[in-house]
A and B are shown apart, each in its own frame.
Chain A
Amino acid sequence: MITEIIIAALLAIGGTFGLVGSYGLVKLPDLMTRLHAPTKASTLGVGGVLLASMADAALRQGTVSWHELLVTLFLFLTAPITANFIAKAHIARAMPREPLPPTGTARDWATLDLSDEPVMPQLTPPGRPGRPS
């Protein structure tokens, strides 16, 4: 009985988080905020479902399966990389340069550095917002 409650609660939490993550993709106003919703909530949702699957295999069928842990680990490793790439594509394409702090070099934001010059990060001058809104 208690195992059924645990598995059902994990499934319910996972489903709710998955739905919230997908809904945030439509609801939130800006791409930088939209990036926030799926990459966090969807991985939490899938994590809940995979934990429920592991608990189902371990508690009800008596077999331990590690595949779910592998999927969870892979998703947790790759979600920030994908988010970083999407954010870089957005900055390079469509983001206004005005709220961004200076890069400290002659290059623009989110571009490839082919030179050997050392990157010297500059602090944001006072009076300018430090993070893109």
Chain B
Amino acid sequence: MITLALYYAFACFGLGLLITLWRVVFSPSIPDRILALDTMVVNVIALIVLFGMITGSGLYFEAALLFAMTGFVSSVAYAKFILRGDIIE
């Protein structure tokens, strides 16, 4: 039953990743693209954690944590660049 639920969650987050990828490519405005990239990072974190559950290895949580940090920093940097034309003033 857990394996079935894992496959269901894999399918859901994979589909969500495809939707956000479509949104990144065909986005109506630049803040939309930042939002889509941020959602993409969240989906990838979920996929990494699910993969760690399926393999039973604890190694993937560090990867998920690193992804969360770099995703947050890059989203904020992109938004700041759009907002001010510069990142570190």
Q: Is the interface of A mostly helix, strand, loop or mixed?
A: helix
Within the assembled complex, what's the spacing in Å between the Cα atoms of A88 and B20?
A: 21
Closest to B16 in A: A22
Closest to B38 in A: A82
A-side interface residues, number (CB < 8 Å) = 53
Selected from A15, A75, A90, the residue in CB contact (under 8 A) with B8 is A15
A-facing residues in B1-26 (Cβ within 8 Å):
1-2, 4-6, 8-13, 15-17, 19-20, 22-23
A49/B2 in contact, CB under 8 A? no
A49/B50 in contact, CB under 8 A? yes
Selected from B20, B62, B75, the residue in CB contact (under 8 A) with A85 is B75
Q: Mark A91-109, 1 if CB is under 8 A from B, else 0.
A: 0111000000000000000
A-facing residues in B51-84 (Cβ within 8 Å):
52-53, 56, 58, 61-62, 64-65, 68-69, 72, 75-76, 79-80, 82-84
Closest to B23 in A: A25
Selected from A16, A23, A89, the residue in CB contact (under 8 A) with B83 is A89
Closest to A110 in B: B83
B39 to nearest A CB, angstroms?
4
Residues of B within 8 A of A112 (CB): 84
Selected from A15, A23, A70, the residue in CB contact (under 8 A) with B9 is A15
B84/A4 in contact, CB under 8 A? no
B5/A8 in contact, CB under 8 A? yes
